[in-house]
Amino acid sequence: MKKIAGLISVAAILISSAQVHAQHVGTIGIGDITYNIEANSGARTDLRSPEYVLSALNNGISGGLTKIRKFKVLGYPQLTARIDEQDRTLDGYYKSKYTGNALLQAGLDYILKANVSEFGIVKQESGKPGAAIGLMVIEFKLIGVADATNDLSSKVIARVYRPKDPKTASAGDQAAAQQLLDRAIQQAIKQLVDQVVTNLFPIRVMKISENGVITLNYGKGLLKVGDTVMVYPIGTDTTVDEFGEPVGVAISSLQITSTEKKFAVAKIVDKQQELKKGQKGQLILTGG
């Protein structure tokens, strides 16, 4: 996964600053979000229409990125209106037609495009009868408008499990199945937003108090009490796989104990090496 080279200086400023804060550092536009799933995937796809899914994704992704407070977010109508005014096209940006010319950036830093490639209710794996899974797979690309080498291509896989319980509506009940799919949509949105944000702006150790209290550079927009963050040595790539799990060997795990608007406080749960200011972390587990 390619790193966003243009943001290295921004990260350095954040690390060296005495204050813990989050600023708007650029503008991200929500481009085309499409729905192209395999007809023979074996999933039940009729419970939520493509229009419903796309509306939920557009609203959820825009809202999720806005809450992080790292971006000024342009929804699809605002993005296309701005581009049309300057006689350009989204396809031109997708093909890096305007790369390298500051006058042709339209006030944009990134454009996000995505496609739903799998979605629906699928059966539980063998050995676990009487259960259902809400599945959503989104393949996405974050396009660096000023520099094509800033592009990030990835995907998220969200699986939400619902064991069959005779005391409640069965997994085959339409209302219950729709709720399961809605949960899969929300989980996919969260994973996508987290991937975009933590790849552009990794979670970092900002302060270490004398009594071992750790302050991180993200607050309520991304983290909540009970979340687990794995910390990696300085210089280590903290990429995540398609399920949102970190890749690499961590030197410490932290648990979030409190969150504020622009920062979070954590305690050390496990430590293999001494923590240092500036080390990057990866959110790996959402607490209850």
Is 229 in contact with 281 (CB distance < 8 Å)? yes
Q: Which CATH number does the domain housing residue 38 bear?
A: 3.30.160.150
pLDDT score of 286: 44
Alpha helices per DSSP H over the chain: 8-16, 50-68, 76-85, 90-94, 174-200
CA 91 → CA 28, 54, 80, 83, distances in Å? 16, 19, 11, 11
CB 253 within 8 A of CB 270: yes
User: Would you say residue 147 lies in a domain?
Assistant: yes
Is the pLDDT at 66 greater than 50? The verdict is yes
Residues 166 and 209 both lie in one domain: no
Q: Are residues 243 and 173 in the same domain?
A: no
The CA distances from residue 182 to 101, 163, 227, 240, in Å, are 41, 16, 22, 24
Q: Is the pTM of this model over 0.85?
A: no
Residue 85 and residue 145 in one domain:
yes
pLDDT number for residue 7: 32
Confidence of residue 240 (pLDDT cuts 50, 70, 90): low
76 domain-assigned: yes
**126 pLDDT more than 60:** no
219 and 273, same domain (yes or no): yes
Sign for the CA dihedral angle at 113, 1, 286, 136 comes to positive
Give the integer Cα–Cα distance in Å for 230 and 250.
Answer: 6
Tens-place pLDDT, residues 244-274: 566 666 778 888 999 988 889 998 888 766 7
Q: In this structure, what are the phi and psi dihedrals at residue 126, rounded to the nearest 5 degrees? A: -60, 145
| 144-160 core/surface letters (b: 16 or more CB in 10 A; e: else) | bbbeeebbbebbbbbeb
Domain span at residue 92 reads 26-200
Statement to judge: residues 214 and 196 lie in one domain: no
Domain boundary among 142, 177, 200: 200
Check whether residue 144 and residue 128 sit in a common domain.
Answer: yes
Q: What would the two tokens of residue 191 be?
A: 């994973």
The predicted model gives 140-160 an average pLDDT of 81
Q: What is the mean pLDDT of the chain?
A: 76
Q: Looking at the structure, do residues 210 and 192 belong to the same domain, yes or no?
A: no
Any domain includes 18: no
Residue 7 located in a structural domain: no
pLDDT band at 279 (very low <50, low <70, confident <90, very high): low
CB 265 within 8 A of CB 257: yes
Highest mean pLDDT among 48-57, 173-182, 227-236, 272-281: 48-57
Residue 204's alpha-carbon distances to 58, 142, 154, 196, 224, in angstroms, are 29, 22, 22, 15, 15
Tell me the two tokens of residue 94.
């997708």
The last residue of one of the domains, among 200, 232, 264, is 200
Distances from the Cα of 18 to the Cα of 73, 206, 211, angstroms: 27, 8, 18
Kindly indicate the confidence band of residue 150, based on its pLDDT and cuts at 50, 70 and 90: low
Shared-domain flag, residues 151 and 255: no
In a shared domain, residues 233 and 120: no
Last residue of a domain, one of 200, 233, 254: 200
For 31-53, how does the pLDDT look when each residue is reduced to its tens digit (9 = 90+)?
Answer: 999 999 876 667 788 889 999 99
Percent of the chain past pLDDT 70, that is, above it, reads 68
Same domain, 183 and 216: no
> Is pLDDT above 80 for 162?
no
**How many structural domains comprise the chain?**
2
Q: Is the pLDDT of residue 277 over 70?
A: no
Neighbours of 161 (CB within 10 A): 15
Question: Poorest-confidence range of 10-24, 135-149, 163-177, 193-207?
Answer: 10-24
pLDDT number for residue 287:
44
Structural domain contains residue 270: yes
Instruction: Supply the CATH number for residue 248's domain.
Output: 2.40.10.410
Assigned domain for 12 exists: no
Whether residues 36 and 156 share a domain: the answer is yes
140 pLDDT higher than 80: yes
Q: What is the mean pLDDT of residues 183-205?
A: 86
Residues 6+ apart with CB under 8 A from 244: 156, 191, 194, 195, 284
Assess whether 53 and 189 both reside in one domain. yes
What's the rounded mean pLDDT across residues 154-166? 77
In a domain, residue 1? The reply is no
The answer as to whether 254 is a domain residue is yes
Question: Which has more confidence, 170 or 236?
Answer: 236
